[in-house]
Structure 1
Amino acid sequence: MKKRDNELNDRRKAATDTKAALLEKFRAAQSDPEREAKLAERVALAAAREERQAERDRLKAEEQERLKREEAERLAALEAAARAEAEEREAADKLRISRVIEDEAARKAERDRRYAARKARQG
């Protein structure tokens, strides 16, 4: 049983020594100027990355706004063209109707003239 206790004690001591070594290494790394420089570099890189992302987002928003404006202008042009076409059709219809009315009035006037001429001959 003695051998077993020694093995357990050896493993415990090895684990304690390893933990102590890791703790010492961590403490040494905390005060390392190179680590602080790397950390500062990482912070600077992160700030630059965020800045680039903000610029990309701004450009994307501008592009979307430009596309919205162009789409609105295109729709306005289409509406204006449709409105102009409808007005043109309406004007053509009115012209056709006025011509029909004029032709009908001319036919009636011609009929009335012939009727009056016939009555004058008979009369």
Structure 2
Amino acid sequence: MRNLRNNDFADRRSTAADAKAHLLEAYKTAKEIAEPTRLARQAERITLVEARDARRAERNRLKLEEQTRLELVAAEEKATAAAAATAETEARKGAENARIARLVEDEAARKAERDRRYAARKARQA
């Protein structure tokens, strides 16, 4: 069978232009029909983004509070450690001073005993 229609270039071009116009019209119609659902999806996305931002802000706030709390605890521990170190240093100094005082007293007692013996010996000789 032979093609009875004579499709020359102009006919093919006009057919393609009509097809394009039809596709464009179908696209516009589909877009208009889908507009309410698109707006609803867009509103839903906006609420999801706002909720996500709120959760992120809450997480950041909690993280900042925790960091501040940890810094306070660290500062307290550092102060406690410094106080303990100071107390230990003072106790060491006190113990050293007491030891030195005992040594001085012992030395004075030995000297006094030696002087007493010396005086007793001199008294016996005289």
Is the shorter-chain TM-score for this pair beyond 0.5, marking a shared fold? yes
> After superposition, where does 1:1-123 map in structure 2 within 5 Å?
5=9, 9=13, 11=16, 14-15=19-20, 17-26=22-31, 28=32, 32-123=35-126
* Rounded Cα–Cα distance in structure 1 between residues aligned with 2:8 and 2:79: 91
Letter in 2 for 1:77: T
Alpha-carbon separation, structure 2, partners of 1:115 and 1:7: 148
In 1, the alpha carbon distance for the partners of 2:92 and 2:38 equals 80
Looking at structure 1, the residues matched to 108 and 11 of structure 2 have their Cα atoms a distance apart, in angstroms, of: 128
Unmatched 5+ residue regions in structure 2?
Answer: 1-5
Q: What is the aligned length?
A: 120
Which structure has the higher relative contact order (CA within 8 Å, separation 6+)? 1
Normalising by structure 1, we get a TM-score of 0.78
Higher alpha-carbon Rg: 2
Mapped to 1, the partners of 2:70 and 2:54 lie a distance apart of: 24
SS of the equivalent of 1:116 reads helix
User: Which runs of 5 or more structure 1 residues have no equivalent in the other structure?
Assistant: none
